[in-house]
Amino acid sequence: MPENVSSKSGRILYIDNIRLFLIVLIVIHHVAVAYGGSGGWPLKEIPTDEISPIIFLLFNAINQSYVLSFFFLLSGYFVPRSYDKKGPKIFLKDRLIRLGIPVLVYTTLITPIIDYIVLNFAEGRESSFFGIVIYRLQHPLYTWEPGPLWFVEALLIFSTAYVFYRLVSSYSFNPFKNNFPTNAAVTGSIIAIALGTFFVRIWYPVGVEVLDHFQLGHFTHYIFCFWAGILAYRGGWFGNLSNPKPWKPVALLSIIALPIMLAVGMSMGYDLDLFLGTFSWQSLVISIWESIACLSIIISLAYIFKKRFYTQGRLIKWMSPNFYAVYILHSLVIVSIMIPF
């Protein structure tokens, strides 16, 4: 299916379908965190068994390896076209409206609503909604909590950086024009982002946040994939993506390898925190695994959706333009459902 096949609205259907798939995974990911998986969440249930936390850990670790990186890649893919069409001033204004306003709404309205629900109905502490809002407005540096919209905030930063790059440089780096990157190039990219991730995590292990919501330990992947998305648009990579024969089995093997690595590490008595960062061989192993899983799964999914899931039924067609709203509101919905159940 050629890359330019799209609906009447100009949307590329298989890319829309990938986005919907990723949104579903993000929602499930956060449900898993809420019900016993690792990670932070406004309201968490204590698991009553020993198996579900392990299942949630494996599921979320695999998700973390590629889902948001894939989102950054797809976001980067549409940046050059929008910039070329609108120019720097209108492009940046559009980004500020489309990305900045939702972040402000979330931090000033949705986060206080979630706080109100948790404090009053989960913890039994009577709190005024307006009191929560006023406190947050009075202490913005300490209470800035964009929740899952940290992704949108990061995307705004990346987009702004792209504008500055285009303004100061006319250099266009495009090593694979009208050709998908070679296996050697993909392998080299895996090595580069694995080493970059390892070195960043010496100082910023997984779980350590900057500004209370940016985990820099993952940003090597995010920055690389955003940049790769820009190159993919310029080079027509998706249109030239053929059967990624080595990467589909590599993706499957990487998924199988994770529980084996964790089981071996636990059986040998290693501190699992060493896998999250610091200067340790465990951190290097996980950094390599994440980088292999990231690119192999992204390439495999892009090919599968391009070849098999390039059409939409009525339900999916209705959902496609609304995936952004689902991303913005799903945290509030999950917390609200958890209260009575």
Per-residue pLDDT of 204-213, as tens digits, reads 999 888 887 8
Give me the phi and psi of 194, to 5 degrees please: -65, -45
> Which residues are registered as beta bridge partners of 22?
none
Q: What percent of the chain has pLDDT over 90?
A: 59
Residue 9: pLDDT over 70: no
Residues near 42 by beta carbon (within 8 Å), at least 6 away in sequence:
114, 115, 118, 331, 335
Cβ atoms 257, 265 nearer than 8 A: no
Question: Which pLDDT score is estimated for 5?
Answer: 52
Tokens read off for 135: 């406190």
Residue 194: pLDDT over 90: yes
Tens of pLDDT, residue by residue over 109-140, are 999 999 999 999 888 888 888 888 888 877 77
Q: Give the three-state DSSP class for 210.
A: strand
Question: Which pLDDT score is estimated for 47?
Answer: 83
Question: Which pLDDT score is estimated for 4?
Answer: 44
268 vs 262: CA distance, rounded Å: 10
Tens of pLDDT, residue by residue over 269-314, are 777 788 888 899 999 999 999 999 999 999 999 999 999 988 887 8
Q: Which residues of 232-257 are buried (b: 16+ CB within 10 A; e: fewer)?
A: bbbbbbbeebeebeebbebbeebbee
332 vs 328: CA distance, rounded Å: 9
Question: Which pLDDT score is estimated for 143?
Answer: 67
Q: For residue 220, how far is the Cα from the chain centroid?
A: 12
Count of CB atoms within 10 A of residue 205's CB? 19
Residue 2: pLDDT over 50: no
Q: Give the three-state DSSP class for 49.
A: coil
Q: What is the mean pLDDT of residues 215-228?
A: 97
pTM of the predicted model over 0.85: yes
Tens of pLDDT, residue by residue over 12-40, are 889 999 999 999 999 999 999 999 888 88
Tokens 């998305």 — which residue?
229
Cβ atoms 230, 80 nearer than 8 A: yes
Domain boundaries, the chain: 13-338
> Which residues are registered as beta bridge partners of 210?
214
Residue 42: pLDDT over 80: yes
For the chain, the average pLDDT equals: 89
312 vs 303: CA distance, rounded Å: 17
